[in-house]
Structure 1
Amino acid sequence: MTETGVETEPGIKAIRLRHPWRNIFAVVLLLIVALFVADAAMRPAYDWPAVGKYLFDQRISQAAFITLQLTVYSMVIAIILGVTLAIMRLSPNTVVSSIAWVYLWIFRGTPVYVQLAFWGLIGTIYQTIDIGLPFTEPWVSFPTRVALSAFILAIVGLALNEAAYMAEIVRAGLLSVDSGQEEAATALGMSWFQTMVRIIVPQSMRVIIPPAGNEVISMLKTTSLVTAIPFTLELYTRSRDIAAVTFETVPMLIVASIWYLFFTSILMVGQYFLEKRFARGIGDRRPDKKADDAAASLTGATPVVGSGQPTVVLPPTDPPQGDR
């Protein structure tokens, strides 16, 4: 019996809906994975002893370090150039925005392998690099092949291609910030540089970081294409050259894949923490745990009053001032 004298029935017990087909599908997937692993462990073509032998080979580790260098140097240049191109694309000056658009059109519209092959032929197209005034004798002149090594050409080719994609990522991030933010900053007397550094860029980073992190990971794998220059000291080409001598192609591909997976795993962890850092204050898509607990307390055992009629449960309110 309640205080009003109305007899209540037991609370409603929620029963979770069962999905047996999901469990069956999960078991089938686990069996497929187990069969694949067991088959790979016994298949002679993989030659796991050879994988272990060359995994930490000095030539492979040096090539892995060079691959990291190509990734870092190219991404630093690409980010700087990409931010510049993004600002140019947003410029009200038609000439400036058009030049940026043409750059993006060329480097996004042609394959990166073709671009790298073009940079490999730059010494044939331009035999010398001349510094001076146009249509006059150059002040300084030196051979292109001496000034630009294959390593530098690989960095330049990768960076210029990646800058086109980074420009669009940065532009999308800047446009995601409401224009009212810039207007408010201007009303407070902040300069354009202060507005960008303190207001626009911090808010746009939550949009920029996820695709930019994906581009870094993609850059790491794209370094395998610098053989078009040709540059043969990075990870994939180096493992391929070793396989050409030892006739162990599959094990060397596995060795290169393990190194790529190792680097990408580290980059993915870094990307996760960067996303978490710049997403502070935006809000989590998952409901708050306290809100879940409160909802559970309201809906977990709702009493039923009278003859089968549900009772409307209201959230608790603050007591009147006089009752405190």
Structure 2
Amino acid sequence: MRTEPIADPSGKPISIARTWHWGRWLAGLIALVVCGWLVALVVANPRLDWGAVLDYLFDPLILSGILVTIEISVLATVVGLVLGVFLAVMRLSHNPVLQWLATLYIWFFRGTPVLVQLIFWYNLAFLFPELILKIPFTMIGLKWDTNQVMTGFTSAMLGLGLNLAAYFAETVRAGIQAVDRGQTEAAYALGMTPGKRMRVIVLPQALRIIIPPTGNEFISMLKTTSLVYVVAGHDLMTNASQIYKSNNLIMELLIVASLWYMLMTAVATVLQGRLERRFGSDAVRLVRGGGLAARVLPRQPKPEGTR
């Protein structure tokens, strides 16, 4: 034990004894030793060629895969968010048919594995060899070969985006329901239609709840894109696998892919933190003026003497 002198209200020094928690220090030391041992097993393994890891870290094929991974993640997140908003509005609709359809969509896409959905979209040509867009009651239309349309990239973007929409729908629904009920009642009192009320009043205020989980979903999407490997989407994992199939440096290329995935998630985490500070619980929505423009302002401290 060690003591540190402090002073009491009368100015008289008092010594406080602080206890050393030897059990905590011992447990922490054991954990460090075990972690160091495991890291040493990998780093010092003679069968692992770290020179190859450095050689392939900035390989053009790896870098192109990173760009494709980011493109798929961004596009799938946008598709999922836009469709998720519509699904959330449908679930909250007073129309029972729309509620049932939205619930069925969410149940289906949340109930089937993402891998199965990716393979399904990639092999859509087995069901529909041609995609035809035709104006009803006319002979005018467009026709595409399904194999040319449903490439690995398209299948990945569509499969991941539609799957993500089911999860975003629940996030958006929670954000909408968190908006104070008095806001909607005031909108009805002003004679707003349900569509305008949702677009101008409810959704802008729900953003502070919707945006932070959106960052989590995007970070998860960056890693989920590794499943695109099964449909040859030319993403990071696909290109890394093509390299190690030719030179048999499996572990080295997996380490290269892991390092880039960790870097991308680290950057996305920093951006997510900024979004949370901008739109999180420390921000409030103020509705002003006849145009009902919404603006985000930080909470102001209360004056002294007020509750």
The answer to whether TM tops 0.5 is yes
Shift of residue 237, structure 1, vs aligned partner: 1.6
State the structure with bigger RCO (CA 8 A, min sep 6), 1 or 2.
1
Deviations 1:108-131 (A, max 9, x none): 111111111111111121011122
In the alignment, the residues of structure 1 paired with residue 278 and residue 252 of structure 2 have an alpha-carbon distance, to the nearest angstrom, of 39
> After alignment, is 37-46 or 95-104 more displaced?
37-46
**Map of 2:133 onto structure 1:** 131
Shift of residue 61, structure 1, vs aligned partner: 0.5
How many residues align? The count is 277
**Map of 1:59 onto structure 2:** 61
Q: Please, which runs of 5 or more residues in structure 2 have no aligned partner?
A: 1-8, 285-300
In the alignment, the residues of structure 1 paired with residue 183 and residue 16 of structure 2 have an alpha-carbon distance, to the nearest angstrom, of 48
**Map of 1:234 onto structure 2:** 235
Q: Please, which runs of 5 or more residues in structure 1 have no aligned partner?
A: 1-7, 283-289, 291-316, 318-324
Shift of residue 9, structure 1, vs aligned partner: 6.1
Contact 1:154 1:231 in 2 (8 A): no
Contact 1:202 1:278 in 2 (8 A): no
Contact 1:45 1:250 in 2 (8 A): no
In the alignment, the residues of structure 2 paired with residue 174 and residue 14 of structure 1 have an alpha-carbon distance, to the nearest angstrom, of 56
Q: Provide the identity percentage.
A: 41
**Map of 2:279 onto structure 1:** 278
Q: TM-score, normalised by structure 2?
A: 0.80
In the alignment, the residues of structure 2 paired with residue 120 and residue 170 of structure 1 have an alpha-carbon distance, to the nearest angstrom, of 29
**Map of 1:220 onto structure 2:** 222
**Map of 1:110 onto structure 2:** 112
Shift of residue 41, structure 1, vs aligned partner: 2.4
Alignment-mate amino acid for residue 205 of structure 1: L
RMSD over aligned CA atoms reads 2.8
In the alignment, the residues of structure 2 paired with residue 84 and residue 210 of structure 1 have an alpha-carbon distance, to the nearest angstrom, of 19
In the alignment, the residues of structure 2 paired with residue 185 and residue 18 of structure 1 have an alpha-carbon distance, to the nearest angstrom, of 61
In the alignment, the residues of structure 2 paired with residue 190 and residue 18 of structure 1 have an alpha-carbon distance, to the nearest angstrom, of 65
**Map of 1:96 onto structure 2:** 98
Shift of residue 250, structure 1, vs aligned partner: 0.4
CA separation of 1:206 and 1:26: change in aligned 2, threshold 3 A: farther
In the alignment, the residues of structure 1 paired with residue 135 and residue 196 of structure 2 have an alpha-carbon distance, to the nearest angstrom, of 37
CA separation of 1:44 and 1:11: change in aligned 2, threshold 3 A: same
Alignment-mate amino acid for residue 268 of structure 1: T
Deviations 1:275-313 (A, max 9, x none): 11112346xxxxxxx9xxxxxxxxxxxxxxxxxxxxxxx
Alignment-mate amino acid for residue 237 of structure 1: T
The correspondence for 2:152, drawn from 150, 153, 172, is 150
In the alignment, the residues of structure 2 paired with residue 13 and residue 184 of structure 1 have an alpha-carbon distance, to the nearest angstrom, of 61
In the alignment, the residues of structure 2 paired with residue 215 and residue 10 of structure 1 have an alpha-carbon distance, to the nearest angstrom, of 56
Contact 1:131 1:140 in 2 (8 A): yes
Shift of residue 188, structure 1, vs aligned partner: 4.8
Q: TM-score, normalised by structure 1?
A: 0.77
Q: Which has the higher strand share?
A: 2
Shift of residue 199, structure 1, vs aligned partner: 4.0
Contact 2:208 2:283 in 1 (8 A): no
CA separation of 1:9 and 1:262: change in aligned 2, threshold 3 A: closer
In the alignment, the residues of structure 2 paired with residue 235 and residue 180 of structure 1 have an alpha-carbon distance, to the nearest angstrom, of 48
- Larger gyration radius, structure 1 or structure 2: 1
Shift of residue 103, structure 1, vs aligned partner: 0.8
Shift of residue 138, structure 1, vs aligned partner: 5.9
Shift of residue 253, structure 1, vs aligned partner: 0.4
Alignment-mate amino acid for residue 250 of structure 1: M
In the alignment, the residues of structure 2 paired with residue 239 and residue 78 of structure 1 have an alpha-carbon distance, to the nearest angstrom, of 27
**Map of 2:246 onto structure 1:** 245
Could you say what secondary structure the match of 2:36 adopts?
helix
Shift of residue 226, structure 1, vs aligned partner: 1.8
Shift of residue 47, structure 1, vs aligned partner: 1.7
Deviations 1:218-239 (A, max 9, x none): 11111111233x2241111211
1:1-324 superposed matches below 5 A: 15=16, 18=19, 20=21, 21-133=23-135, 137=139, 139-188=141-190, 192=194, 195-197=197-199, 199-228=201-230, 230-279=231-280, 280-281=282-283
